[in-house]
């Protein structure tokens, strides 16, 4: 099953946005989120992406996909961008 790549501004299941991504790789004009990049969670504050299942590196870190998780347990929600599958 194909999954959308995550980029800055995409949301997660706790209601907050992805806040950081690769400075050198853009998708739809926004930085691509990777393992270790930050999300803003209204329930748990700022924390990082701890799962990136794409198997594709973006500037040396695995790219995050729809369904991957953050440290606080939220699930990343991808938009209509490029997919990996």
* Residue (of 31, 62, 30) closest to 49 by Cα position: 62
For 3, the domain range is 1-85
- What pTM does this model have? 0.90
* pLDDT for 2: 79
Model confidence pLDDT, tens digit, residues 9-39: 999 999 999 999 999 999 999 999 999 999 9
Average pLDDT over residues 53-69: 92
Count: domains in the chain: 1
Q: Give Cα separations from 12 to 40, 59, 60, 80, 85 (angstroms).
A: 9, 23, 23, 15, 20
Model confidence at 83, pLDDT cuts 50, 70, 90, reads low
The CATH number of residue 77's host domain is: 2.60.200.60
């Amino acid at each position: 099953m194909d999954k959308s790549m995550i980029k800055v501004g995409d949301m997660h299941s706790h209601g907050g946005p992805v806040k950081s991504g690769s400075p050198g790789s853009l998708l739809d004009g926004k930085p691509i989120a990777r393992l270790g990049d930050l999300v803003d969670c209204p329930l748990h504050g700022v924390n990082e992406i701890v799962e990136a299942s794409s198997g594709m590196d973006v500037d040396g870190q695995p790219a995050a996909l729809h369904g991957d998780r953050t440290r606080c347990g939220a699930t990343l929600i991808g938009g209509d961008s490029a997919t990996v599958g």
